[in-house]
């Protein structure tokens, strides 16, 4: 795959560091994980000179019941606590996907992915600018996802009831016009007297009627040649039978041949009988042909208006009848729907108020937890807060007042209020939305802090950080490394980094490098022992030219762990 010819990596349970020079192929490793879990794969990912590429991953899933149930729904067993995913990419044909040796599709991989890994790259920092992400993180911390799902469901039911009520409240003239049209359409289909398969039967019959004269001539000629002519096949067969009988009396070798002939004769007589009966049944009827063609034209006209097949037309007939019945009941429905909307709104309000209460209580704890963690990522002077705000007036509230007389504040699917994270990195600066004050490096550290706090409830056990060190260095990098190390105590962590201050915290350190073999460039990944780690840290400290001072510094970094 790409610059990889063959590669196997077994990651540690703790903090796994991937390092190497720029362009060595570190991104290939991360991209391969993404492909394995549903990212789009293209033929240009296949190594030059090869027609296929294979990516396989083995994941320990333990007692992950939601994942096991998801796999079971797809007909895949997850026995033994392991999940094996394999993707095959082809240069000309579509690739293939297997989960535990069962064929699967990419859509299933995308469903599996959240249960296995969380991939955080530089682009994911931008997700921290989204208020939706803020709400997800708060709900994860507060443990209110089930409350939120109930609120979502009630809101969705409100929307459906509003749509039904609007349909029911159409003006009387519109309702009558719709009923007239439905009556006409239903009558037109019912009067056609449709039968499933009739169109195919008619086409077959038309083919016979169009060719009736030709069929009759060929059948008569065949019957004559076989049975009726003076020198028909059966007459000649009888003569041949007599001669073979005479021969068999002279030489017994002819007896089997005579037996075969005797077996053939009944078959030919059956064919002759079939032809005689068929000739009697042949109809050369221009009147019937016209009737069949007229019926085909009638069916085609019905299908052009109401469905491509008779089955579709009949299905649409049921839908039209249901729609007519709904319009006939519309006045009664309107009263019922209004009562339902009032009831559903009370349910939504109850769930949303409970959710709001839980969120606001959790927000205070969340702010304190963030404040404690900021110190550990060199943001000790930073301040963090969660701002709640009611949404602006929206159409849903207006429609509820208009349709059912329900007076309510604006509301959202996720609850009564919106949530936004505010942050100040420096003393004396006022708190502002993260999107307007945080730098790239600060966003990286904030995301790391948030993952540390919410990982047990929101994130899967394998966390992948692709260049989280972008825009930071020195003590800040060391603080990030320390935080990653802490995170790896409860989660498997994979981190791609250029910073020695982060790499020194590794439980397992892998060096990604390129080498030229037989004129071809190949990406390799090597697990590093202590000496290898010293050399790699020295390179990360001082560059390609490793000096004694850089090597000494690397040793000191490892000794201080």
pLDDT tens digits, one per residue of 350-387? 999 999 999 999 999 999 999 888 877 778 788 899 99
How sure is the predictor about 456, in pLDDT bands with cuts at 50, 70 and 90? low
Q: Spell out the residues 6+ positions from residue 216 whose beta carbon is closer than 8 angstroms to its own.
A: 279, 282, 284
Residue 386: C-alpha distances to residues 420, 459, 488, 491 (Å): 6, 21, 27, 27
On the question of pLDDT at 185 being above 80, the answer is yes
What whole-number percentage of the chain has pLDDT above 90?
A: 17
Q: What single DSSP character describes residue 227?
A: I
Least confident residue range of 37-51, 411-425, 516-530, 542-556: 37-51
Gap between the Cα atoms of 486 and 489, Å rounded: 5
The whole-number pLDDT of residue 170 equals: 67
How sure is the predictor about 268, in pLDDT bands with cuts at 50, 70 and 90? confident
Q: What is the pLDDT averaged over residues 374-402? A: 78
Gap between the Cα atoms of 528 and 507, Å rounded: 11
Q: Which CATH number fits domain 15-121+440-528: 3.10.129.10, 3.40.50.920, 3.40.50.300, 3.60.40.10?
A: 3.40.50.300
The 10s digit of each residue's pLDDT in 279-331 is: 777 776 788 888 888 898 999 999 999 998 999 999 999 999 998 888 887 66
The whole-number pLDDT of residue 224 equals: 82
SS (H, E, C) 346-409: HHHHHHHHHHHHHHHHHHHHHHHHHHHHHHHHCCCCCEEEEEEECCCCCHHHHHHHHHHCCCCC
How sure is the predictor about 111, in pLDDT bands with cuts at 50, 70 and 90? confident
On the question of pLDDT at 419 being above 80, the answer is yes
Least confident residue range of 136-150, 167-181, 339-353, 454-468: 454-468
What end-to-end distance do the CA atoms of the chain give, in Å? 36
Pick from 38-52, 114-128, 185-199, 383-397 the range whose average pLDDT is largest. 185-199
C-beta separation of 36 from 464 below 8 A: no
Q: With CA atoms as reference, report the closest residue to 202 among 295, 320, 97.
A: 295
Gap between the Cα atoms of 321 and 313, Å rounded: 12
The 10s digit of each residue's pLDDT in 140-170 is: 889 898 899 899 999 899 888 888 877 777 6
Domain definitions of the chain by residue range: 15-121+440-528, 129-156+344-437
On the question of pLDDT at 457 being above 60, the answer is no
The whole-number pLDDT of residue 421 equals: 92
The whole-number pLDDT of residue 2 equals: 61
Phi-psi region of 391 (alpha: psi -120 to 50; beta: other; left: phi over 0): beta
The 10s digit of each residue's pLDDT in 61-88 is: 877 777 888 888 888 887 777 889 898 8
How sure is the predictor about 498, in pLDDT bands with cuts at 50, 70 and 90? confident
How confident is the prediction for the chain on average, in pLDDT?
83
- Residue given tokens 């699917």 in the structure block: 413
Q: With CA atoms as reference, report the closest residue to 352 among 383, 315, 396.
A: 396
C-beta separation of 165 from 337 below 8 A: yes
């Amino acid at each position: 795959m790409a610059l990889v010819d063959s590669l196997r990596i077994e990651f540690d349970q703790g903090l796994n560091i991937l390092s190497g020079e720029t362009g060595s192929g570190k991104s290939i490793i991360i991209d391969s994980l993404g492909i394995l879990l549903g990212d789009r794969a293209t033929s240009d990912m296949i190594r030059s000179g090869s027609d296929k590429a294979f990516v396989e991953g083995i994941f320990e899933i333990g007692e992950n019941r939601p994942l096991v149930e998801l796999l079971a729904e797809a007909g895949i067993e997850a026995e033994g606590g392991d999940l094996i995913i394999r993707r095959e990419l082809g240069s000309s044909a579509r690739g293939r996907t297997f989960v535990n040796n069962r064929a699967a599709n990419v859509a299933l991989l995308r469903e599996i992915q959240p249960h296995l890994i969380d991939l955080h790259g530089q682009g994911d920092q931008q997700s921290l600018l989204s208020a939706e992400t803020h709400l997800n993180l708060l709900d994860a911390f507060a443990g209110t996802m089930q409350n939120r799902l109930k609120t979502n469901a009630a809101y969705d039911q409100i929307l459906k009831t509003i749509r039904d009520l609007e349909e029911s409240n159409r003006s009387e003239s519109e309702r009558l016009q719709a009923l007239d049209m439905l009556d006409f359409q239903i009558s037109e289909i019912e009067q056609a007297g449709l039968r499933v398969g009739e169109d195919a039967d008619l086409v077959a019959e038309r083919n016979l009627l169009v060719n009736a004269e030709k069929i009759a001539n060929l059948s008569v000629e065949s019957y004559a040649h076989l049975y009726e002519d003076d020198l028909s096949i059966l007459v000649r067969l009888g003569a041949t039978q007599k001669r073979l009988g005479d021969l068999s009396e002279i030489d017994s070798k002819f007896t089997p041949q005579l037996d075969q002939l005797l077996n053939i004769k009944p078959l030919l007589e059956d064919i002759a009988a079939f032809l005689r009966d068929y000739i009697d049944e042949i109809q050369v009827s221009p009147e019937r042909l016209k009737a069949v063609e007229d019926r085909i034209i009638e069916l085609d006209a019905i299908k052009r208006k109401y469905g491509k097949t008779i089955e579709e037309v009949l299905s649409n007939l049921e839908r039209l009848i249901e729609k007519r019945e709904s319009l006939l009941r519309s006045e009664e429905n309107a009263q019922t729907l209004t009562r339902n909307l009032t009831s559903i709104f009370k349910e939504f309000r109850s769930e949303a108020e409970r959710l709001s209460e839980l969120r606001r209580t959790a927000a205070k704890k969340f702010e304190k937890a963030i404040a404690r963690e900021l110190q550990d990522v060199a943001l000790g002077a930073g301040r963090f807060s969660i701002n709640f705000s009611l949404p602006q007036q929206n159409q849903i509230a207006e429609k509820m007042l208009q349709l059912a007389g329900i007076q309510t504040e604006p509301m959202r699917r996720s609850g009564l209020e919106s949530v936004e994270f505010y942050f100040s990195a420096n003393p004396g600066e006022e708190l502002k939305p993260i999107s307007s004050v945080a730098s790239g490096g600060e966003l990286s550290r904030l995301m790391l802090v948030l993952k540390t706090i919410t990982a047990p409830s929101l994130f899967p056990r394998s966390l992948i950080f692709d260049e989280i060190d972008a825009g930071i260095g020195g003590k800040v990098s060391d603080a990030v490394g320390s935080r990653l190390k802490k995170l790896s105590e409860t989660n498997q962590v994979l981190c791609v980094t250029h910073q020695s201050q982060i790499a020194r915290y590794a439980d397992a350190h892998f060096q990604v490098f390129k080498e030229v073999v037989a004129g071809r460039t190949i990406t390799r990944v090597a697990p590093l022992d202590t000496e290898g780690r010293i050399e790699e840290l020295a390179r990360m400290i001082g560059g390609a030219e490793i000096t004694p001072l850089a090597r000494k510094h690397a040793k000191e970094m490892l000794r201080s762990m």
